[in-house]
Amino acid sequence: MPTVTWGVIQGRKEKLVSRVIISDYLRSLGIVPDELEPLELPSTVEVMRERIEFLQKLGLSIDDMNEYPLMLGCSVRKNIVPVLGYLEKIGVPRSKMADFIRSYPQVLHASVVVELAPVVRFLRGLDIPELLGFKLDGTMSTSVAFLVAMGVRPRDIGPMVTQFPFFLGMRVGTTIKPLFDLLLSLGLPKMVVARMVEKRPYLLGYDLEETVKPNVAALASFGIRREAIPMVVAQFPQILGMPLRAKLAAQQRVCEGDGEAPQIAALNQAVMVKPVEFLRGRGIAAEEVARMVVKCPQLLVLRMEMMKNSFYFFKSEMRRPVAELVEFPEFFTYSLEGRVKPRHRRVAEKGISCGMDWFLNCSDRRFEERMRAEMMEREVRDRSSPWEGS
């Protein structure tokens, strides 16, 4: 008569055999089962086939399953169907369900009552689209609380999540707070850092040790004085996440000068950054180039073709003095075809005399308002001139 121990051993053997059979079945479909090792798998191939066919009917491919094989550990009846039903209930259309699962496959493991519904209620309170997969009582609530404490306006949390939802899963102590601490240590006011994060929440995703700190050091090596670095970062925060080491010269001499702007000495052509070299080649002095970089750090990462085309139009069509570029280096950052040419031509046709920032540094709506106001003022002057002469 078989003992209880023998029955347990037999049961374990059967489970092991069935796991091997299911793993072979998955491999035959092109699915790598390695990540499924810690999961409880179905006892028969038929049940696994049902899961795969259900996911395929949903719109997921074998490649999608390989991207997140843990979805194969979800029961169709206990996990997948209830979750899909809830997603449809809160407004995710069936046609978009596969895309949603590709983006947030971990949602298939979640409990509708315990996890999904509370998260949705929380996010609806923030006035943002439903976003699932983060624990309400974990990193999500603490990251939001920290950001608000640092000056981020609660009404802006929603748009931030829409742009960069991943910060909800970041740990405050190891990721978010160290970045804030570094930016504050540079001399940026807390409110300025908060506004930067509100507008560009993806800044929170920059690697502090691998990217941000080396880029701060790179700016200093380029000749920007430490006290001017906060101004550069505030104007162009994206510079913290760019590969500056590849763009900036490794060895550059810096000469001290008067005034607030950092000064750049005459540099060796072989180690000069291309945009700087281009500007110097147009007769702009080193100290003026430095001033331009502080006012508009984007200059360091612009494509040369874009700069050349803009400068050619500036000289041949606009016929303005180069000194205007020094005062308004942002000129190079605007689309030549989309903004510079059409606005310049309208200003020229109307005979309006103004600086480049007047007609470039504004929205389309504001530009139209300025044009109308200028023409109205001109009409008033024209009508009043006979009286002034009498």
CA dist., res. 232 & res. 240, Å (int): 10
Name the residue with tokens 């609660």.
154
Q: What is the pTM of this model?
A: 0.42
* pLDDT tens across the length of the chain (390 residues): 454 444 444 456 777 778 888 888 888 888 887 877 777 788 888 998 998 999 999 899 888 888 888 888 888 888 889 988 888 887 778 888 888 888 778 788 877 777 677 766 666 665 554 455 555 445 566 787 788 888 888 778 877 877 787 787 788 888 899 999 999 999 999 999 999 999 999 999 999 998 899 888 887 776 677 787 888 888 888 888 877 665 554 334 333 333 333 333 333 333 336 787 788 888 888 788 878 877 887 787 778 888 999 999 999 999 999 999 999 999 998 999 999 999 999 999 888 888 898 999 988 889 898 888 877 776 656 555 444 443
Contacts of 191 (CB under 8 A, 6+ apart): 151
Q: Please tell me what DSSP assigns to residue 280.
A: H
Nearest to 50 by CA among 70, 84, 77, 83: 77
Helices (H), the chain: 4-28, 45-58, 62-67, 81-89, 94-103, 117-125, 141-149, 154-163, 177-185, 190-199, 213-221, 229-235, 244-247, 274-281, 286-295, 304-313, 322-327, 341-350, 356-360, 364-389
CA dist., res. 193 & res. 41, Å (int): 48
Q: Please tell me what DSSP assigns to residue 40.
A: -
- Determine contact, residues 146/179, Cβ cutoff 8 Å: no
Nearest to 332 by CA among 358, 351, 305: 305
- Output the six-digit token pair for 172: 């405050």
- Output the six-digit token pair for 287: 């100290």
Torsion of CA 192, 194, 199, 205, to 10 degrees: 120
pLDDT at 246: 59
What are the C-alpha distances in Å from 184 to residues 6, 79, 90, 226? 66, 45, 41, 13
Contacts of 98 (CB under 8 A, 6+ apart): 58, 59, 60, 64
CA dist., res. 84 & res. 91, Å (int): 11
**Residue 134 in 3-state DSSP?**
coil
CA dist., res. 110 & res. 134, Å (int): 10
**Residue 209 in 3-state DSSP?**
helix
Name the residue with tokens 């200028």.
374
pLDDT at 131: 53
CA dist., res. 320 & res. 317, Å (int): 9
pLDDT at 384: 53
What are the C-alpha distances in Å from 12 to residues 1, 74, 250? 19, 22, 63
CA dist., res. 34 & res. 373, Å (int): 69
Name the residue with tokens 């810690």.
38
Radius of gyration of the chain (CA): 30
Burial zone of 322 (CB within 10 Å; 0-12 exposed, 13-18 middle, 19+ buried): middle
- Output the six-digit token pair for 326: 């020094």
- Output the six-digit token pair for 131: 């976003």
**Residue 66 in 3-state DSSP?**
helix
CA dist., res. 364 & res. 327, Å (int): 22
Q: Please tell me what DSSP assigns to residue 234.
A: H
pLDDT at 222: 66
